[in-house]
Amino acid sequence: MAEAIAISLSVKVAAALSRAAAASLVPIRHGIAAAARDLELLRAFLRFADSRRSTDALASAWVDQVRDVGFELEDVVGEYTFLAGSGGFLRACADVRAWFALSSRLRKARERLRALSAVKEQYGIRPADASGSPDGGTGTSVAICRKLSEAAHFVEEEEIVGFAAHKRLLMKWLTEEAETRQTIITVCGMGGVGKTTLATNVYKRIAKSCHFDCAAWVAVSKNFTTEDLLRRIVKELHRYVQDGAPRDMDEMDYRSLVEALRGHLTQKRYFLLLDDVWDADAWFQLRTALFDSGTGSRIVITTRSQEVAALASSHRTIKLEPLSEQEASSLFCSTIFREDAGPECPYHLQHWASKILDRCCGLPLAIISVGNLLALKEKTEFAWKNVHDNLLWDEGCDHGIGQVSTVLNFSIDDLPYRLKRCFLSCSVYPEDFSIKRKTLIREWIAKGLVEEKGHSTMEEVADGYVTELVQRNLLLVALRNEFGRAKRLHIHDLIREVIAHRSKEDRTFQLSRSTTVDSKQKIRHLTLDNCQIDRQSTPNLASLRSFYVLRSELDASLLSDFRLLTVLNLWFIKTNKLPSAVAYLYNLRYLGIRSTHIEELPKELGKLHNLQTLDAKWSMIKTLPSSITKLKNLRHLILFTRRGTDFMKPAPGTPIALPDGLQNLRCLQTLKYVQANQKLVRSLASLEQMRSLELSGVDQRIIVDLPSALSRMSCLLRLGIISSDANVTLDLESFLPPPVNLKTLTITGKLARGKLPSWFGSLTNLTQLHLRSSELGEDSVAILSSLPRLLYLSLINAYTEGSLTFAAGCFPALRQLSLLGLPNLTSIEFQKESLVDLRLLTLGQCLELAEIPHSIVNLIHLENLELFEMPSNLTEKIPDGEGCGANHRDDERTTTVKNISWYNGRLLEQKVYINLSTFQKSPKTDAVTFRDETGQRSLWSHLYGKGVCLYK
């Protein structure tokens, strides 16, 4: 983490010196730049020493001190920016005492930095000391992970819980005779979820059979060499061969090893298990030796990385998730009471068993580690309560609990610095918090954790970071958008505990649920969750950089104390006004008041010259101060006003009108959801960086000026046009040249002549299209059908004909189709070779549609059919299918059918798995599940909400 501070500081120094040069004193500017260079020179040592902190007390103490100096320099940079942003040259002269104090702090920090640089030589803290550890100081972690992998060979069948279905599937893939090609199978999941246990158990069963001529199990791990990996594979293949492996194998070079392996495997059906593969490069270096002889060989790879898992086809990949509550309880009891005839938890211990299991979060490694510890304790409430209260996922713990932390920390330590600093910053979020991807990206940028790279924007670079963390199973996807891309994320509770523990060790983060804050240390990131806070309970927070407040009673006046603040994010706060002091937080780059009762922003908001994001969605802001047009660094402006005060019911809402002067915000990339007028639309021509634009209240007068503005937006990817009312007709024919780079387009309103404009077929980059209340005919659907990249199409009350035909060859790339609220639709025909890649079909409130078309069998890849509020005479004709517990994944032609309807104010969902070719008229009854009204209402709001589409 100390290395990340050095890198982050260099970025912030560059930004501070470039933006505030005119108001600063030259010696201070030069001193800050020199200190940043000094810290930059220590980066290599910081990376090495940081990795040894858990095993080397001297290195740990040195890193702590360097980190403290880094924090002090960061504060100097922040204070420099604050003073320089407070006014012009005259104000700078008036603050001469503050400038000299800052100069003194800088001088002392540089002296400490130079002293620490000398100390590392004096005490021998050098990279050369790591020579004995090939992994740069993480040898202990590698050894523990390797030991856990090897131990999986000795896990008995009855000790394995929760993998029955996965085991059957893996056995099937390994033993199927029809596939004679070499096949790769991957088992993916976060550390400790049981990948090795599952794969090794299956390996033992298969290796004992006669299904393969030979088999090998090899733990790859993070640090490998190709030659060593080849040697170990050869040795494993000869483990039970009488002659054994070649005697001179240890002297063989790469070429000789490949020849030896290929010679041994010639014309043999082999089974190779590569355990714990961290990098796809391991396979690419091996595949030359593992040639495909057409004998039906199988290769199983276990990995924490979805990128590595992609080596196999999606139909040969198993993704392991944490155990269910019932499975976790079964494993827990069988571990503790393994010597008992019936391993059940006694009644008097069930309360603490449940609380301890909550801490394990369904992770098998954690459950087994705690279970082994409890097996040694007395079976009393006092003993189990004591274990619960002192349960820390710390590498220093005994009885195997420390192994859990080691395995999880290993995934974090493997991250490059650019990802590690971003991921550790996620410790500001409380457990079970759903993180919006775009919010996370904008916060990382505001904190200075992201740098522009080549021609990519910081947003695009940060989006790549999110993707990498998802692929490594560190950020988990809670909700995906229509294309399978992460929309909302969360962190597994155990991983969150680990990164929170590391952040607390660095004395940077604190999550508080009490009325007071421990401010003995200089906290830099503070989250308040469900608590009441005021000035008296928050002393000594002058170094605070990010402040998150959720569901708490907040004394808004204390915000004026946080002069170095860069991120201020408030959720579910009933405060109705931000104090004017917020406008003097000159370092502020992110201001979030989403889902709050705040009605007014300070008139002086324009003083926040560094502000990059203003997120006021679902606040109660009705007007914006005119000074907002002075925010020349603003990149994202998201506005949407809630009408009621109930946080659980945000919809419906209204867009907000902007003051004149929008053309000044030339850095703006996102503008949503604003009330349009002619002056605003004409101003849009100056916003050439715009990527996402949502306009409400559009009429024909505005349409006239819109094309010329859009033609200047060469980066525009997402556009939303919402008419002012149902009587307005939108004539889009004048959009010349059309916005051909668009990927997402939303149009709400009646289209002129009931047709799409003639240029619509030129939107060859369009992937997502939402049309609502458009009154289209079938010829317009034909225009859409040829768009080559269209993946998602939503027609909401947008089609007026009684029949709809999808001809052969239409919509070649479409994966999701939603037909909703089409009042005249009586029949649908899917011709053969139409919609060849469709995976999800949604039919909703098409009240004249009497039956699901028999031609649906022509949708050869359809995986899900969702019916929402469809007439009963249609839903009654759905044939009986398999129940929810069926192993429906084994049938590639099986489709999941969901029938969703309102019942007593709640959404009732019926789900069955059927083969579409069996559609016939027959009554059915199924198990049903009730879903929470508010949670599902958010899911369907983009389909049936009034006013602005809220699907994003």
469-510 pLDDT, tens digit each: 999 989 999 888 766 778 999 998 888 888 888 887 776 777
Residue 235 has pLDDT above 60, yes or no: yes
**919 by DSSP, 3-state: which?**
coil
What are the sequence ranges of the domains in the chain?
1-123, 148-319, 326-414, 419-488, 507-675
Residue 52 has pLDDT above 60, yes or no: no
Residue 88 has pLDDT above 80, yes or no: no
Residue 584 has pLDDT above 70, yes or no: yes
Say what angle helices 195-208 and 139-151 make with each other, to 10 degrees: 40
Do 343 and 333 contact (CB within 8 A), yes or no?
yes
Residue 5 has pLDDT above 90, yes or no: no
- Tell me the C-alpha to C-alpha distance, in Å, between residue 168 and each of 73, 275, 287, 362: 58, 19, 27, 21
Residue 70 has pLDDT above 60, yes or no: yes
State phi, psi for 298 to the nearest 5 degrees: -130, 140
What pLDDT is attached to residue 940?
37
How many Å apart are CA 440 and CA 449, to the nearest integer?
Answer: 11
User: Peptide bond preceding 737: is omega within 30 degrees of 0, i.e. cis?
Assistant: yes
Amino acid identity of residue 636, one-letter, is H
How many Å apart are CA 571 and CA 552, to the nearest integer?
Answer: 9
**854 by DSSP, 3-state: which?**
helix
What pLDDT is attached to residue 107?
80
Amino acid identity of residue 753, one-letter, is R
How much is the average pLDDT of 164-184?
Answer: 88
Least confident of 72-86, 623-637, 795-809: 72-86
194's CB contacts (< 8 A; 6+ apart) are: 162, 163, 320, 364, 365
Identify the band that residue 880 occupies on the pLDDT scale cut at 50, 70 and 90: low
How much is the average pLDDT of 718-743?
Answer: 89
What pLDDT is attached to residue 908?
86
Do 700 and 730 contact (CB within 8 A), yes or no?
yes
Least confident of 144-158, 600-614, 667-681: 144-158
Concatenating the DSSP letter of every residue in 262-318 gives HHHHTT--EEEEEEEE--THHHHHHTTTS---SS--EEEEEES-HHHHTTS-GGGEE
Q: How many helices (H) and strands (E) does the chain have?
A: 27, 35
How many Å apart are CA 383 and CA 856, to the nearest integer?
Answer: 61
Identify the band that residue 820 occupies on the pLDDT scale cut at 50, 70 and 90: very high
CA-based max dimension of the chain? 90
Residue 813 has pLDDT above 90, yes or no: yes
- Tell me the C-alpha to C-alpha distance, in Å, between residue 819 and each of 685, 761, 793, 800: 35, 21, 9, 12
What pLDDT is attached to residue 438?
95
How many Å apart are CA 477 and CA 96, to the nearest integer?
Answer: 51
State the DSSP H helix or E strand holding residue 769, giving kind and residue range, or none if neither: strand 768-772
Q: Which CATH superfamily does the domain covering 507-675 fall into?
A: Ribonuclease Inhibitor (3.80.10.10)
State phi, psi for 272 to the nearest 5 degrees: -120, 125
Fold of 148-319: Rossmann fold (3.40.50)
51-60, 148-157, 168-177, 917-926, range with greatest mean pLDDT? 168-177
Higher pLDDT, 398 or 460: 460
User: Which burial class, exposed, middle or buried, applies to 253 when counting CB atoms under 10 A from its CB (0-12, 13-18, 19+)?
Assistant: exposed
Higher pLDDT, 212 or 906: 212
Identify the band that residue 404 occupies on the pLDDT scale cut at 50, 70 and 90: confident
> Rounded to 10 degrees, what is the CA torsion of 831, 834, 840, 843?
-40
Q: How far from each other are the two terminal CA atoms of the chain, in whole angstroms?
A: 34
34-38, 406-410, 751-755, range with greatest mean pLDDT? 751-755
User: Which burial class, exposed, middle or buried, applies to 707 when counting CB atoms under 10 A from its CB (0-12, 13-18, 19+)?
Assistant: middle
CA 219 remoteness from chain centre: 29
What pLDDT is attached to residue 945?
38
Residue 951 has pLDDT above 50, yes or no: no
260-317 pLDDT, tens digit each: 899 888 889 999 999 999 889 889 989 888 878 888 999 999 999 999 999 999 889 9
Identify the band that residue 904 occupies on the pLDDT scale cut at 50, 70 and 90: confident
| 317-319, strands of its sheet edge to edge | 214-221, 270-277, 298-303, 183-188, 317-319
